Amino acid sequence: MSDDPIFAFVLMPFNDEFEDVYKMGIKETASAMDIKAERVDEQIYQEGILERIYRQIEIADIIIADMTGQNANVFYEVGYAHAKDKLCILITKETEDIPFDLKHHRHIVYNGSITSLRGTLTNELEWAKSQIENIRNSRVKVKLSSVFGNLEKSKYTAKADVDFRIDLNNDSSNASPEIEAIYFYSSKGWTLQQEGKRCPNTESDIPEFSLRHFISPPIRKLHKKAWAQLQFKGSKYLAHAYDGEELKDSYRVTGRSVLRLATHEGNYDYEIPIDVECDEIPF
C-alpha cells in the first residue's frame, strides 16, 4: 500500500477566464479530499513544456481536463492521457465541447457555475480516489482490454452477444493478495458464459445493479509485474417483435458494470465502462 498523495494533473487553457474554475472549482475541491491538483504552469522544471506535460500525465493518478472552447492543445493532451490508460475526468461549460466519441467517458457540464462544479467534481473525485486506492491496496489494475458485440436476430427477437476481455495487471513490486472469487455486476436480463459454461448468478449486493455473476479467476495470485486476462461472454435480449417492437439490424449497448475482486484482504471494486455496437453479421 502506497502512502504517496494522490496526484491530479490538470489540463486547461492558460487564460484568465479559467482562473476561478481552476483555483476554486478544481484545486480547492481536490485539496479538501487530500488530492494534490496542479497545472504545469505552477511547477518548476528544466525540460521543454511539452516534455513536462507528457511526463506529468504519465505519473499522474488522475487527469482533470477542461474541454471548454475545444482548445486544440487540451484535446491533444487528453488523447495522450487516454492512450496511456489514465483515469480522466472531463469538465466543460457547454456540453457541445465534448466530442461525440468522448461522451461515454466521465464528464461534468458546469454551465459556468463554480458551485455546481465543486459539488459534482467532489462526487467524481470520490469515485476516482476509490479506484486509485483499490489499485494501490490490491496491487491489481483492471482494464477492459477489448469488447466485441454481435447481434443474433430471429423472426421475433434480437439478442446481443458481447465478448469481454479484461486485463489484470500487477505493476507493483509485491504480489497481490490471493483472489478467492471474481464477480461481475449487471442489470437484469444478462446471462454470462465462461469457457462455454453458464456463470452462476444471484441478486446483487450493490443497489444500482440487479445481478451478480460469478466468474472463475484465471489465476489465484498476481506476482509482481504479472498479467492475466479474464474472458467471458454476456448475452441479453434487446427486443421482442411480439411486444410490438421493430427489430433493428444494429443496437448500441452502453452503460457501466463493476468487477469485484474478492480476496482474503477484502473486496476491491472496479468500474467497467461499456460502449459497444452490436451488429448482425450476414453469413
Do the Cβ atoms of 222 and 261 come closer than 8 Å? no
Classify domain 6-137 by CATH number. Answer: 3.40.50.450
Neighbours of 181 (CB within 10 A): 13
How many separate helices (H) and strands (E) can be counted in the chain? 5, 15
What is the mean predicted confidence (pLDDT) over 9-35? 95
pLDDT at 45: 84
Measure CA 40 to chain center.
25
CB atoms within 10 A of CB 113: 13
Q: Return d(Cα 120, Cα 117) in angstroms, integer.
A: 5
pLDDT in tens, 75-104: 999 999 999 989 999 999 887 777 655 555
Query: Which overall architecture, per CATH, does domain 140-280 show?
Result: Sandwich (2.60)
| CA within 13 Å, CB half, 207 | 0
Question: Is the Cα dihedral 219, 221, 225, 230 positive or negative?
Answer: positive
Contact of 12 with 18, CB cutoff 8 Å: yes
Residue range 121-162, pLDDT digits in tens: 999 999 999 999 999 999 999 999 999 999 999 989 999 999
Predicted pLDDT at 244: 75
Q: Where are the domains of the chain?
A: 6-137, 140-280
